Amino acid sequence: MIEQFGQRLQAKMAVQGQLCVGIDPHPELLLKWGLGDDVVALKRFSHGILDAVADLVPVIKPQVALFERFGSAGIAVLEELLAAARAAGVLTIADAKRGDIGSTMAAYASAWLDDASPLVADAVTLSPYLGFGSLRPALELAERTGRGVFVLALTSNPEGASVQHTGATEPSGSVAAGIVREASAENARVLGQGAGWGSTGLVVGATVEDTLEALEIDLTTLRGPILAPGLGAQGATGADLRRVFGAAYPQVLATSSRGIAAAGPNQAALREATERTLADL
């Protein structure tokens, strides 16, 4: 029987903590490392971070768009990075935010969740805004291959509220609340009366402040992981996360990208920044 992503993630977080290191090769970060804005720099940057943190954290999260901008050569670097993380025993979340319908969604799922794909990751981020049901090909493939998904639910960007908060005064609640219900139902279906986490996670921004309470969203019903970007450079601290997520905090996998990468390229400095962030969590 295949061990599911939620179980693997929960076990690794129990040992290594709640930090996911984002690998986001922004041009300004490459420059800060004394590198050019090219594929050679992309590889040095991404592998440099992985090498520094591989034994410290349970998960890395490469931002797919920042590899795609280099075309096929950038995708090749991403493939190498995912394979290297797998060899090092580090879980990977491809931050691709894919979302479509029918055969197109099935193709996205195959790219990121199929054993045969060179881009296969342990999990992928998905956008549910063509309807949660449109994600079914990815949910089904993830279940078959023991992988996971993180579905956008409540993001910190100001524009997100125009969609995610819609319906807050209706009996069924906001769009975000509906996504949480759907993800919770998916995990309940898979887990039944069993213990542990399901493999359908949510993306909830670390800086959403009091929005969860205002929208009457209870994340403890999820029975799965919560990916929370915004730690470090975007301003959130461990104390903020404990306050925002409350009883659901043990489910939180907090992401720091620039806050750690800015310490590079020195490996010792990258490790120190990572250890400091882990301690804050």
Token output for 195: 């213990």
In degrees to the nearest 10, what's the CA dihedral of 209, 212, 214, 220?
Answer: -140
Q: Which helix (H) or strand (E) holds 22?
A: strand 19-23
Other beta carbons within 10 angstroms of residue 207's beta carbon come to 18
Q: How many residues does the chain have?
A: 281
- Active-site residue list: 97
Q: Are 11 and 225 in contact (CB under 8 A)?
A: no
Q: What is the 3-state secondary structure (H, E, C) of 74-118?
A: HHHHHHHHHHHHHHHCCEEEEEEEECCCHHHHHHHHHHHHCCCCC
Q: Which amino acid belongs to residue 9?
A: L
